[in-house]
Amino acid sequence: MSDLRTHAAEIAEQFSDHLDVEEDEVEERLHNLVEEYRVPIEEARRSVINSYLEEAGLERDEIGRGGNDEVHLADIDQDEQWIDVTAKVVELWEPRSDSIAQVGLLGDESGRTKFVAFETSDLPKLEEGAVYRLGNVVTDEYQGNFSVKLNKTTSIEELDEDIEVGDDAITVEGALVDIQSGSGLIKRCPEEGCTRVLQNGRCSEHGDVEGEFDLRIKGVLDDGEEVYEVIFGRDVTEDLTGVTLEEAQQMAMDALDTTVVVDEMREDLLGTYYRVSGPELGRYVLADDIERLTEPADPEAVLIKARSI
Amino acid sequence: MSANEIPSREVARRVFADEFNDAAFTFKESDDDRAPVYLLLPTGAKANRVFFVGTLTEKDDVGEDNEYWRGRIVDPTGTFFVYAGQYQPEAASTLRDLEPPAYVAVVGKPRTYETDDGNVNVSVRPESIQVVDAATRDRWVVETAERTLDRIDAFDDEGNEYARMAREEYDLPIDRYTESAISALESLEEGDGDELGLDGGQAVAPEGSAEDADLQPEP
């Protein structure tokens, strides 16, 4: 089905209780706007919906209710879908643009998804930690990551309940084949909210600063088919190496060199198998949990497969 | 590739020594000078990097003016040769310090070398060499058998371009790799995982592994 057809079907469905709207007719009107007049599809949709609203004598928020699917956040896999979600506001972030009223993270049992509300939509503010039923939000996609946009037609209903927010952690297994630069004993920028890792004592944002010591590992797990870049924060690194931040600083002071720490980590950790789980952030897996795979390997299952070839 | 694009890291293939040493054909997939060079594995896969675990049975400094370390690393099917010199300082110093026999895990790049008589020898230029335990070595054998069998399974799949390439370049019967995977797995069962009788990274060379000195490729 073409994109226009999908939109047409949705619009026809939205009005099915109020008007006798044919999909073909909707598609033609969309087609006219998009192909002839070069109107972006979202705008075309809006315009077509508005004209039907007028025809039916309806207000915008009288349609769309019930017409949408209630979707779990982790199941969002398409751009520009009108959906309803019930979710908790996990985090609110600082908007980077004046046009954005609120931006943050929604969570439900299935996972987490970014949301954006625009100033122009003039919606009531969402509160961190509260659970809402959000009717008529639109999905958006950027580089394979999905988010939802609130809009003028979005209905917001605060619910008196809590949601156990699932994490969309992934679990990966493989041999640790590399520990990348920027691992071991590092210094971070002490400026409020910065925490950038210093390069030769310099922060790329704040220049020369007195850095604060931290421990981390940027490692590469490889299972022979896929490569996973994994970040171990201080706690996981301390657990894994048995070396605390204080001990690492002592080692570096004794050697007059911070790289002794990462050298020792390489020796301890490289070439061994691990199972790591944690959320994905861009190209990295942030390790919440790591386990060294030491149980004896079981050749039996593979042998059965081999003999069947 | 645009300048801003971060090239993705090459995966480290799992391959037993017998199959690795049968490979000889290398190729690039773009004209860029810095494009990765791939070794074509006979079971139909490209390898720009490998990861293997085996027993270091011998090491020698074969360099003339500078240190140049050669290590023989044995798996259940054959011997990997690794060469590390001044441009692989960490791996070279590991080889210098290690006392064979020891279980080691190696990450490295395949290198091919054509001998005077026209044979192609394959060796590994290590990125890292680390001492590991027997459990890690056994896990690698099982994993490598599985990956090898996966490749063999997919060998006749339509659209498997590296299998097609392997057929053209090698014309080797791939059954042999099924058999060596099976015997590698069986070697674990017989020995109950510690057939070398030692732990903590120390091991005794399997029989027959140190005798085929004439197979050593030159750098």
CATH of the domain at B102: 2.40.50.140
- CB contact residues (below 8 A), chain A span 140-179, against chain B: 175, 177-178
In a domain, B136, yes or no: yes
Q: Is the pLDDT of residue B219 over 60?
A: no
Portion of chain B with pLDDT greater than 70, in percent: 84
Q: How confident is the model at residue B212 (pLDDT cuts 50, 70, 90)?
A: very low
Cβ–Cβ under 8 Å, residues B161 and B96: no
In a domain, B2, yes or no: no
Q: Is the pLDDT of residue A34 over 80?
A: yes
For the ranges A10-19, A60-69, A121-130, A169-178, the lowest mean pLDDT is seen at A60-69
Residue B9 burial (CB < 10 Å; 0-12/13-18/19+)?
A: middle
What is residue B102's three-state secondary structure? Answer: strand
What's the number of domains chain B is made of?
1
Query: Who among B10, B51, B152 is closest to A309 (CB)?
Result: B152
Instruction: Answer yes or no: do B146 and A271 touch at CB < 8 A.
Output: no
Q: Is A260 on the interface with B (CB under 8 A)?
A: no
CA angle A284, A289, A292 (to 5 degrees): 100
In a domain, B1, yes or no: no
Write out chain A residues lying below 8 Å of B185, CB-based.
299, 302-303, 306
Write out chain B residues lying below 8 Å of A299, CB-based.
141-142, 145, 185-186, 188-189
What is residue B214's predicted lDDT score, i.e. its pLDDT? Answer: 46
Q: CA nearest B179 in A: which residue?
A: A306
Main-chain phi, psi angles of B204, to 5 degrees:
-100, 140
Q: Is the pLDDT of residue A277 over 60?
A: yes
Instruction: Answer yes or no: do B138 and A297 touch at CB < 8 A.
Output: yes
Instruction: Answer yes or no: do B105 and A299 touch at CB < 8 A.
Output: no
Please determine, for the modelled complex, whether the ipTM score is greater than 0.95. no
Measure the CA–CA gap between A135 and A4, rounded to whole angstroms: 23
Measure the CA–CA gap between A260 and A257, rounded to whole angstroms: 6
Write out chain B residues lying below 8 Å of A266, CB-based.
90, 128, 130
CA angle B84, B85, B89 (to 5 degrees): 90
Cα separations (Å) of B170 from A138, B22, B43, B101?
A: 54, 9, 10, 34
Q: Is pLDDT larger for residue A86 or for residue A42? A: A86
Instruction: Answer yes or no: do A224 and B104 touch at CB < 8 A.
Output: no
Cα separations (Å) of B63 from B74, B83, B93?
A: 22, 10, 14
Q: Measure CA of the first residue to CA of the last residue in chain B; give whole Å.
A: 32
pLDDT in tens, B52-105: 999 999 999 999 989 999 999 999 999 999 999 999 999 999 999 999 999 999
In the predicted model, what is the mean pLDDT of residues A73-90? 89
Instruction: Answer yes or no: do A302 and B149 touch at CB < 8 A.
Output: yes
In a domain, B8, yes or no: no
In a domain, B202, yes or no: no
What is residue B146's predicted lDDT score, i.e. its pLDDT? Answer: 95
Arithmetic mean of pLDDT over chain B = 86
Q: Is the pLDDT of residue B153 over 90?
A: yes
Q: CA nearest B54 in A: which residue?
A: A271
What is residue B94's predicted lDDT score, i.e. its pLDDT? Answer: 94
What is residue A51's predicted lDDT score, i.e. its pLDDT? Answer: 87
Q: Which residues pair with B178 in a beta bridge?
A: none
Arithmetic mean of pLDDT over chain A = 88
Q: Is the pLDDT of residue B218 over 60?
A: no
Write out chain B residues lying below 8 Å of A309, CB-based.
149, 152-153, 178
Cβ–Cβ under 8 Å, residues A190 and A210: yes
Q: Is A304 on the interface with B (CB under 8 A)?
A: no
For the ranges A57-61, A197-201, A271-275, the one whose mean pLDDT is highest: A271-275
Main-chain phi, psi angles of A296, to 5 degrees:
-60, 140
Q: How confident is the model at residue A80 (pLDDT cuts 50, 70, 90)?
A: confident
Interface test with B, best of A143, A177, A178, A295 (most B CBs within 10 A): A177
In the predicted model, what is the mean pLDDT of residues A237-261? 94
For the ranges A23-37, A159-173, B18-32, the one whose mean pLDDT is highest: B18-32
Q: Residue A220: how many CB atoms within 10 A of its CB?
A: 20
In a domain, B12, yes or no: no
Query: Who among B139, B149, B153 is closest to A293 (CB)?
Result: B139
Residue A165 amino acid letter = V
In the predicted model, what is the mean pLDDT of residues A146-175? 87
Interface test with B, best of A183, A227, A285, A303 (most B CBs within 10 A): A303
Q: Is the pLDDT of residue B194 over 60?
A: no
What is residue B2's predicted lDDT score, i.e. its pLDDT? Answer: 41
Measure the CA–CA gap between A286 and A278, rounded to whole angstroms: 5
Interface test with A, best of B128, B147, B177 (most A CBs within 10 A): B128
Instruction: Answer yes or no: do B135 and A222 touch at CB < 8 A.
Output: no
What is residue B7's predicted lDDT score, i.e. its pLDDT? Answer: 66
- Mark out chain B residues that contact chain A at CB-CB < 8 A: 8-14, 49, 51, 53, 90, 104-107, 127-130, 132-133, 135-136, 138-147, 149, 152-153, 178, 181-182, 185-186, 188-189, 193
Q: Is the pLDDT of residue A23 over 90?
A: no
Q: How confident is the model at residue A62 (pLDDT cuts 50, 70, 90)?
A: low
Q: Is A224 on the interface with B (CB under 8 A)?
A: yes
pLDDT in tens, A164-176: 887 777 889 999 9
In the predicted model, what is the mean pLDDT of residues A96-123? 89
> In this structure, what is the dihedral angle of CA atoms A192, A196, A197, A198, given to the nearest 10 degrees?
-70
What is residue A36's predicted lDDT score, i.e. its pLDDT? Answer: 84
pTM here is 0.68
In the predicted model, what is the mean pLDDT of residues B30-35? 89
For the ranges A53-62, A159-168, A224-233, A298-307, the one whose mean pLDDT is highest: A224-233
In a domain, B54, yes or no: yes
Closest CA to B58 of B110, B20, B99: B99
Write out chain B residues lying below 8 Å of A307, CB-based.
182
Main-chain phi, psi angles of B41, to 5 degrees:
-80, 140
Q: Is A225 on the interface with B (CB under 8 A)?
A: yes
Residue where the block lists tokens 């990348």:
A180
Range of the domain at B63: 17-194
In a domain, B183, yes or no: yes
Q: Is the pLDDT of residue A67 over 60?
A: no
Instruction: Answer yes or no: do A270 and B105 touch at CB < 8 A.
Output: yes
Nearest CA-CA distance, residue A267 and chain B, Å: 6
What is residue A17's predicted lDDT score, i.e. its pLDDT? Answer: 72
